[in-house]
Structure 1
């Protein structure tokens, strides 16, 4: 069977619909520029800026901070490239591909876990972005703050209007499907670069050149530095680690493997390092200008006390937050929900349901005191590393890069296992989760939690490989038969 075709023979309606089906070759129109712009939109945002800038606030020098950024991006792009390959080859999204390793029923567990985490982060980003909406409106309407006197369900009327406006912007972007998402990302990412370059110019000017910015010494040394280094690396990976799983949702539209490889190389490690470099330089500039590091870009804009600067800067940050939220936290749960109810849902309906559910996380009630909740969500996110390891090992080592396309959409194919469940995958996933999260419950092993994603992806993948070896003979036979047919 041609992996580029859309030919699925007698699919089961409970496992198949148009959004889950292989993308036909004529609709795979995304080139390397598309992926570069999409990644620019995802990484050029407030959270990424603050993370990079915080490295300076932690006591790193500019060069040490850049080293941490580069290390994190190399690890991320390696995992993303590996998990992109199957999506590009077969034109299938993450919720379908994962049926190969977990079974068509078992796949619902990691899929819904990923959806839960994505919708949670949608809510957080939507609330953070609504503050940028408020900043824009405040410049245009000075009486905006007075609307906060009218409050219900924990938010003032002004914040509700800002949140509602930002929510509607999400609905508008996704209302015409993935093609509108792609077009939006084509200009959203570069817009933030313009803002960043403007702030870099300010930092260089206030420091009287690049030299003083690079000469700010680090205050970390020895074991303290390395502990902070790896903690920072894990934090930066954590922001985008969930995308390692659902990257096939995007690469299924790629014209070729070459397009997604080059596009993602330009968009993630190269542009992320460039963006981080800008935020690091700007944060170093705030130390010189204000005597302290300011890592929040909104707070930095306020320091200029200039309505034009605040208006344009807040608008850029609003677009940046909308950009990352749509791609990272709406596209994925939309496909996840479609996978759950393919007979009833399509991409637009599932996307709207996702952002409606996000409202009920009510981040405004706990956003400023969210330590415990973020720890819980971090632990849930830690379960996704082993799933990534399992998917990568299944495709490259167990299946030898050959899937049986039709088996994804029937209940009596290769991926049926035991009534739709693959116990080996769940054993491997459990082993990976235990190792990744054991530092949370065993004080003497707490340092391991710093590396939870690395440990999870490695233990999950290796465990799955050895557990599947007992089933390798039958799998190898099917793979060889498929190769002959192709």
Structure 2
């Protein structure tokens, strides 16, 4: 008899879960979790889940480039006094730097096939990982809700195209709630449309981004063609002339600030890219797929936004910064069948793109990271659903409409993300030379390499604080406090300053205060010499218990100091 026929069916297991409290609790527990450090989604990805190819990474970052914020960033910068060339160059080079950091921070994950929570243990400690995971998860929840609100806006536009009386529906929601009945319906539908996609594991979701990578650029190009043909040209001067020309000094710092804004918008993904890179089929798939698509895609999307906003400003006398206002503006000017059809296609494409962006930037990172907080109960699928429920409940339209101070906080949050990714890169490439001892990442033994001081790497936390200290006064000033010009300029350097300062601080501290296991033998190992030993564990198709058996006591951890001894440990576990 086939093994699958011997056990109860999924429906029988579901029914049994509700027969008693203990049965329900047992159904919630993940059998793959053998300690507080591991479950099926914290363990290294087995070969069956190493499914992302070069094209998948290219399509992911290409599709991610086409979103609401990228569309509006170039046009908004031009009104501050920059030229179109300046705006697009800033977008290109900021995203080129982002792509380089993404590739570097994805290197360890593509070699050892482990995600951000586990990799961060090597830098911040077995318990220190919880701090950096929570630091990132907060953004996932907030921006997950905001993107859900954006998606609801586009769905509302689609319904307006279908139903002529959509805008005439009575709005019974008070004005102080900052949302209308129409947008609320769209928001609820966005919530429902998102649910099915969250049942797909990250190792299988890549096809969603392949579809988005084709649909969204086509929709953006359609808007550009319509806007320029209706206007009889681009009329780029409309945007450039709409803002007062600042002095050279003010413009220079404005360019720096805008560069930092783009880096800040990417900062969360720069940190948690290991949650995607771990599924790389080959070590170079994530390299070329990510390095090329992000700067080119974001620059094209920003250029499309500039062209469309300029043309519409020249026609209608009003600049629509974000695409859902632009699409509503088109319907306000003309509600013909041709306009409705075009707007419906564009709005549906943007709704789908926003869904993809939210999954890519919020639900996947949150779910992959929050698994370490409750590994006995939360895997990636459950984490994604949890993120959606919380994001739905935080009333994101009030955040967008009223919480200016809170949005300033989110904008400046990148100064806390910069040191994290800098510390992780220095730790992997310079301190450990790409050599991680896989079993020690899953042990609570005080003898493990990554236990440090009671589970916390004080070197990393010291460098983290040093990293954000310089831009911190400027961050406080963004809330309206009176600060000096120097603090304002340091804050304009935000992410870049905190990244460089945190990286340098960690390198110096680790040089003076050696990390555990940094003996002469380890220092003389070739770069990534331990990768092959780790792959022997992964490729064998291990059970999650293998990584913890024999290591809680610390004996095996003390033996693991070199490729040969790593292989000996592997044989012991087998």
Once the two structures are superposed, the pairs formed by residues 248-267 of structure 1 within 5 Å of their partners are 248-267=274-293
How many residues align? The count is 476
Report the Cα distance in structure 2 between the residues aligned to 1:450 and 1:263, rounded to whole angstroms. 30
Q: Tell me the SS of whatever aligns to 1:357.
A: helix
Q: Residue 338 of structure 1 corresponds to which residue in structure 2? A: 371
Report the Cα distance in structure 1 between the residues aligned to 2:419 and 2:428, rounded to whole angstroms. 14
Residues 1:269 and 1:471: Cα distance change in structure 2 (over 3 Å) = same
Residues 1:180 and 1:134: Cα distance change in structure 2 (over 3 Å) = farther
Give the conservation status (yes or no) of the 8 Å contact 2:75–2:306.
yes
Residues 1:407 and 1:11: Cα distance change in structure 2 (over 3 Å) = farther
Residues 1:156 and 1:441: Cα distance change in structure 2 (over 3 Å) = closer
Report the Cα distance in structure 1 between the residues aligned to 2:119 and 2:39, rounded to whole angstroms. 15
Report the Cα distance in structure 2 between the residues aligned to 1:213 and 1:446, rounded to whole angstroms. 31
Q: Residue 310 of structure 1 corresponds to which residue in structure 2? A: 343
Residues 1:309 and 1:104: Cα distance change in structure 2 (over 3 Å) = same
1:283 aligns with 2:309: yes
Q: Give the superposed CA RMSD.
A: 2.4
Shift of 1:206: 4.6
Q: Residue 457 of structure 1 corresponds to which residue in structure 2? A: 499
Report the Cα distance in structure 2 between the residues aligned to 1:158 and 1:473, rounded to whole angstroms. 58
Residues 1:447 and 1:265: Cα distance change in structure 2 (over 3 Å) = same
Report the Cα distance in structure 2 between the residues aligned to 1:54 and 1:144, rounded to whole angstroms. 30
1:16 aligns with 2:38: yes
Given the two structures, how large is their TM-score scaled by the length of structure 2?
0.78
1:482 aligns with 2:570: no
Q: Is 307-316 or 242-251 further displaced after alignment?
A: 307-316
Deviations along 1:407-448, whole A, 9 cap, x unmatched? 111112210111211111111111112123222347111221
Give the conservation status (yes or no) of the 8 Å contact 2:212–2:356.
yes
Give the conservation status (yes or no) of the 8 Å contact 2:100–2:291.
no
The answer to which structure, 1 or 2, has the higher relative contact order (CA under 8 A, 6+ apart) is: 1
1:439 aligns with 2:474: yes
Q: Residue 197 of structure 2 corresponds to which residue in structure 1? A: 173
Within the candidate set 370, 380, 402, 1:369 is matched to: 402
Once the two structures are superposed, the pairs formed by residues 194-343 of structure 1 within 5 Å of their partners are 194-206=218-230, 208=232, 213=236, 219-220=245-246, 222-304=248-330, 305=334, 306-343=339-376
Deviations along 1:262-290, whole A, 9 cap, x unmatched? 11123201222222222222233234333
Report the Cα distance in structure 2 between the residues aligned to 1:150 and 1:328, rounded to whole angstroms. 33
Give the conservation status (yes or no) of the 8 Å contact 2:153–2:324.
no
Shift of 1:143: 3.9
Of Structure 1 and Structure 2, which has the larger fraction of its residues in helix? 1
Residues 1:215 and 1:398: Cα distance change in structure 2 (over 3 Å) = same
Give the conservation status (yes or no) of the 8 Å contact 1:148–1:156.
no
Shift of 1:167: 1.2
Within the candidate set 421, 427, 437, 2:456 is matched to: 421
Within the candidate set 444, 451, 457, 1:411 is matched to: 444
Report the Cα distance in structure 2 between the residues aligned to 1:296 and 1:162, rounded to whole angstroms. 17
Shift of 1:401: 0.9
Give the conservation status (yes or no) of the 8 Å contact 2:78–2:240.
no
Q: Is 303-312 or 236-245 further displaced after alignment?
A: 303-312
Give the conservation status (yes or no) of the 8 Å contact 1:203–1:285.
yes
Report the Cα distance in structure 2 between the residues aligned to 1:203 and 1:61, rounded to whole angstroms. 20
Residues 1:131 and 1:33: Cα distance change in structure 2 (over 3 Å) = same
Report the Cα distance in structure 1 between the residues aligned to 2:562 and 2:317, rounded to whole angstroms. 65
Residues 1:28 and 1:454: Cα distance change in structure 2 (over 3 Å) = same
Deviations along 1:2-54, whole A, 9 cap, x unmatched? xxxxxxxx995110111111112343121111011111222201111011221
- Please tell me whether Structure 1 or Structure 2 has the larger radius of gyration of its CA atoms: 2
Once the two structures are superposed, the pairs formed by residues 30-69 of structure 1 within 5 Å of their partners are 30-69=52-91
Deviations along 1:177-208, whole A, 9 cap, x unmatched? 12452121111132110111122223443564
Report the Cα distance in structure 1 between the residues aligned to 2:233 and 2:281, rounded to whole angstroms. 44
Give the conservation status (yes or no) of the 8 Å contact 2:108–2:434.
yes
Given the two structures, how large is their TM-score scaled by the length of structure 1?
0.91
